[in-house]
Structures are given as structure tokens and as C-alpha cells.
Amino acid sequence: MHRYRTHKCGDLRKEHIGQTVRLSGWVHSVRDHGGIIFIDLRDHYGLAQVVIDPSQPFYKGVEHWRVESTICFTGKVVARIPEAVNPRLATGGVEVVAEAMEMLGEAKVIPFQVAKEEECNETLRLEYRFLDLRRQSLHSNIILRSKVIARIRELMTAEGFMEMQTPILTSSSPEGARDYLVPSRVHPGKFYALPQAPQQFKQLLMVSGFDRYFQIAPCFRDEDARADRSPGEFYQLDMELAFATQDDVFEVNEKVLHQIFTEFSGKQVDAPPFVRIPYREAMEKYGSDKPDLRNPLVMQDCTELFRDSPFKAFAGVVASGGVVRTLAAKGCADQPRKFFDDMIAYAQSVGAKGLGYLRWTGGEIQSPIAKFLAPETLEALKALGGVGEGDVMFFIADQKAAALEIGGAVRAELGRRLGLIDPDVFRFCWIVDFPMFELDDEGKVAFSHNPFSMPQGGMKALEEQDPLDVLAYQYDIVCNGTELSSGAVRNHSPELMVKAFAIAGYGQEVVESKFPALHRAFQYGAPPHAGIAPGVDRIVMLLADEPNIREVIAFPMNQKAQDLLMGAPGTVEPRQLRELNLKVDLPRKFEQAPPTA
């Protein structure tokens, strides 16, 4: 008989009746009836009920076992009497009558319950992550993550992609997020950087003649956390395709993502091809470059209807170069006054000066602004919004960029409050045609996304167009309002690269010194190539229906980028610093070494 187990706890069925089995697992719950004790023994696979009779020599000790201890039982599988069958348990038809037991690992009193999943403060959960991971919801999220990644590997391989590794210790890149740095012992004063993404390596693999690359790639960025952004590190399904167009990238991703989302959720998933929305159109209609398409509301322009309006609040905005945008919400005219007051307060909280509205209810128009509007204006608005009795139109007047942003926020809030978001579907879209350049804070032309993207129109566009009008073959994929990834057709021409950098204010020497590998490689026969890198954590988050990314990561850091279980980051020995030729020079605030976790 195996030292620890002949079966898994979740295995036992009626067919095992009569067999002597050995099980090992955690004490999930103890039900002590004085004359008989029931123990639910739990492992990764399930629960089994073990019965301990008072005649057993170990009976006395069992009463004092703490839950979450690990124990090995040997005993006979018997059928439960009909009244004692538990239909909620896969193993509920049988139980194990213990004949021998061995304590494998005793548990202290646990700081929060594992068997009963009640809310618990997150600091404690992170300090005792190994206990939290035993709990069913987190445990099953991590199982889901493993299955999703395994399936992604199968699907990508079937599409002809090769999984390849790229370095973790690499060089710091000048653009993008802050790097995590690793000091070099061999080269005093020099540093490696952890890759923010394997971007340049995967492009080099294309130049190296590999045709289709993918990797479940760790990415390291020293940026502050959000609910959907884990600090420090995260994983991408990184991929790159040689001799490929934007459509080739879309086709593969639509196929793989549709398959994954269909297989691992009960929700309805958009069928390929996914909707493609130009960036500027997305901003105009949804006020966002990651619209949630489950929300049916769409912004419309009604600036001209207010240009000469007696409603000075709006006409004044228009006269000063601003715009008026409207959102038509069907069937919410009978919402209570509080609803409209709350919407106005919400709009103001996101920067609006106000929020106008028209309600078609009781055969008339109820609105604080209706009296300022001519009958023909009201008719024109009604026609524009396609509204009628029972409907409402909301209005935002501001300078264009602000109006779009506020309108986007109001659109999302209306969707939430009015229950317009179908929770049982995954709606995908591609946002395409991002601008190549934008103005930075100082009003200078800068890359708006990725300096490696191919400008649409090539050299001719770079030479002849206003840089701010040049579009890039740059795209995002969005699911239910979550940005899963950015990608691009890459700029594989050294001349185009130098020209693009020149427009952003960098000389050729900058390209050569900051991106020596790509600049050199592209001069020796580079294939046109394109790629993308959907976020694995976010995919699993959507599939698990979790609002927080930590719920799909086994060992996440807290918002301040600390690992409370391992105590990272921590101090190191002076010897280690000397070896690296490093001296720590703390700001006054930290002169007393902060206590480590």
C-alpha cells in the first residue's frame, strides 16, 4: 500500500465499497457527536467523510485535532445508510471507517477560516496566502488559470507558433514604464533591467528567420497598481508573426480568444471576426479607447443645434469652440428625481460643469432646460436621438476632449445604473488606426504608443503629412471594456525608423545607441512582421468573473508592491552591497530603516 494514499479524497464512489483504502489530506471539518466523530478530509480533488468509532485507540486524540492539519487515514469504504447519503457531495454515497491514522502535519489555530469562506482583510490573506489558496474560490481560480494557459499553448502550437524563451536579465529601455534594475557584480556601476515585455527580442526572432513565435511571457514594470493591474510583474500571451499583416494577427487572435473564452465560460462570446473601430470613432461614440460594447449607449454630436440657441449655457460653450454631445437612454424617463440628481452629481465628479437632460414623459417634455429650447430644436434632437415617450436624452457641453471624456464616463455610469450591461456575454472589439504621434505635456510631438509601429502610408506619410495626422498600424483588443492588449505591425525599415524618431525629436544616434539591436538587425534583411500580447491575468480575470487581479494570481503583491508572505522587498547584507559596489543613500524620511515584514 502506498505510503500516503491509494486514492484521492474526491475519488471514492460506490464501486470502492468493501475496499481498504488510504487517504491523506487536510481536516476540513470535524463533527464530534460524543460517541462518534465525522471528519471531512479534503485534498486538491475533493472531500471524503471519515468515520471514527469510539472503539479506535486514536479516538480520544481526534477530539482535539485542529482543522487544516494534514492527516493520513487507512480504513474500509462502506456505503452510507440511505438517510445519511449527502447528495451535495460527489463522494456523498460512501464513507471511510477509519482503522488507522497518522498525523502528518499539525496545524496551529488558523487566523481565518478555510472551510467557510467569509470575507477577510486582504493583508491577512496575503500573509497567509498558503491558507487562502486552500480556500475553494481562490484554489479554483488558480486551477482555471493553469487550464487556460495549457489550452493556450495547445491552440498556439496548433496554429504553427513556436514557444520560445527570451532573457529575463536584459538592458534598460529608454521609453515606457520605469524599469526594475539589477546591479551587475562583474561590471561595477552597470545594471541589467528586467524586461517590460520581450518586445525587441521577439522582433529579433523574426529577423532571425523564425516564423511564428509565442511565449507566456513575464513582464516587469515598476508602476503603481490598479484593481486590474498587479504591481511588479504580470504575464502576457506574447506573439509575433513574420511576413504578416494586421489581418493575419487579428485572425489568429480571434480564433484563439474565441475558443478560450467559449471553452472556459458559460457566457456567449462574440464570433469572429470581431468588430473593428477606428480610434477616433471610438472616442467620438464611446468617449473611450476601450469601450464596453455590452453598453448599448452611443454618444452623438448635437453641437450645431445649440450654436444659435437661446440656451446660453450651451451656446456659450459652442461659441468658445466647444461641442455638445448627447446620450439617448431609452425607457428611463420615469426614473425618480434622485436618479437625475445623482447623474448630475456623478458628471460633476468626473469634471463636468453640469449635465443637461430632456425627459419625454406624460406626453410632454420635462426638463430644466426645455424652456430655453425652440420647438423645432426639440424636434430635431428627438429625431437625432431616435427617442419618444418614456425616453431621456442627456447632454454634455464642453471643449471637445473634455466632453468626450465626460460623456464616456456618463455613458458607463448610465449603463451600470440602468442595468444595461448584460453580465452573460463577452463582447470583443478591435480598436484600430491609432495616431502615430501626439503632443506631449510640453506641446512637443511624441510617439503616442509604440515607437516600433509602422506608420500607415510609410515614408511618404512621414514626409508629407502633419505628424499628428499620421496613423499607425497600431491596434488594441478590448473585451467588455477591459483592454486585453496592444499590438502593431512593426516598422522593420531602418530608414523609416530613423525618420519616425526624427519627427519625435530624436537623432539617428539616439536610435543607434538606444535600440542598437533592432537598428542593426533591420539592415540585414528584416521580414515585415506584426504581433500583439494579450494579458493572461486579465483574460483569467474575465473568465473567473473577478473584479480584482489578485484573485487570479497565486502570490500577488499588495498595492504598495510588497510580498507580505516572503517579505519582499527586503534589506540585504552589507557584504552583498559591497560586492555590487552599491551604497544606499536614503532620503531623510527613511533614515530609520523601515521595519521589514
Interface with RNA (CB under 7 A)? 29, 31-36, 38, 40, 49, 51, 53-54, 63-64, 66-67, 80-81, 83-86, 88-89, 92, 95, 109-113, 115-116, 118-124, 173, 175-178, 196-197, 199, 221, 223-229, 441, 447, 449-451, 486, 548, 550, 558-560, 562
CA 195 vs CA 49, 125, 172, 190: distances in Å: 49, 29, 8, 16
Is 175 or 247 the residue whose CB approaches RNA more closely? 175
Three-state secondary structure call for residue 570: coil
Q: How far is the CB of 228 from RNA (least distance, A)?
A: 7
CB proximity list for 87: less than 8 A, separation 6 or greater: none
- Phi and psi at residue 228, to the nearest 5°: -110, 20
Rounded CA separation 423/441 (Å): 38
Is 140 or 349 the residue whose CB approaches RNA more closely? 349
Q: How far is the CB of 596 from RNA (least distance, A)?
A: 12
Is 155 or 553 the residue whose CB approaches RNA more closely? 553
Q: How far is the CB of 32 from RNA (least distance, A)?
A: 4
Is 39 or 328 the residue whose CB approaches RNA more closely? 39
* Identity of the residue numbered 6: T
Rounded CA separation 594/584 (Å): 14
581 contacts 189 by C-beta, under 8 angstroms: yes
Q: How far is the CB of 364 from RNA (least distance, A)?
A: 38
Is 255 or 417 the residue whose CB approaches RNA more closely? 417
Rounded CA separation 492/497 (Å): 8
Instruction: Please tell me the total number of residues recorded for the chain in this structure.
Output: 597
Whether cis (ω within 30° of 0) applies to the bond prior to 455 is no
Q: How far is the CB of 482 from RNA (least distance, A)?
A: 11
Rounded CA separation 481/270 (Å): 14
Q: How far is the CB of 89 from RNA (least distance, A)?
A: 6
Q: How far is the CB of 441 from RNA (least distance, A)?
A: 7
35 contacts 54 by C-beta, under 8 angstroms: yes
Is 314 or 452 the residue whose CB approaches RNA more closely? 452
Is 236 or 377 the residue whose CB approaches RNA more closely? 236
Three-state secondary structure call for residue 474: strand
Is 37 or 152 the residue whose CB approaches RNA more closely? 37
Is 322 or 556 the residue whose CB approaches RNA more closely? 556
Is 124 or 577 the residue whose CB approaches RNA more closely? 124
Concatenated DSSP letters for 196-211?
S-SHHHHHHHHHTT--
* Identity of the residue numbered 388: G
Residue 61 sits at the vertex; the CA angle it makes with 57 and 62, to the nearest 5 degrees, is 100
Q: How far is the CB of 189 from RNA (least distance, A)?
A: 24
CB proximity list for 311: less than 8 A, separation 6 or greater: 369, 372, 373
Residue 235 sits at the vertex; the CA angle it makes with 167 and 437, to the nearest 5 degrees, is 85
Is 220 or 339 the residue whose CB approaches RNA more closely? 220
- Give start and end residues of each alpha helix (H) in 128-187: 129-132, 136-158
Residue in 311, 420, 318, 322 with CA at minimum distance from that of residue 357: 311
H/E segment holding residue 403: helix 400-417
1 contacts 21 by C-beta, under 8 angstroms: no
* Identity of the residue numbered 403: A
Q: How far is the CB of 379 from RNA (least distance, A)?
A: 38
Q: How far is the CB of 514 from RNA (least distance, A)?
A: 10
Strand ranges, E, within 377-494:
392-398, 425-426, 428-432, 437-439, 445-447, 474-479, 482-489
Q: How far is the CB of 450 from RNA (least distance, A)?
A: 4
Is 120 or 378 the residue whose CB approaches RNA more closely? 120
258 contacts 270 by C-beta, under 8 angstroms: yes
Is 58 or 112 the residue whose CB approaches RNA more closely? 112
Q: Which residues pair with 100 in a beta bridge?
A: 74
- Phi and psi at residue 446, to the nearest 5°: -140, 160
Q: How far is the CB of 565 from RNA (least distance, A)?
A: 13
User: End-to-end alpha-carbon separation of the chain, Å?
Assistant: 44
Q: How far is the CB of 225 from RNA (least distance, A)?
A: 6
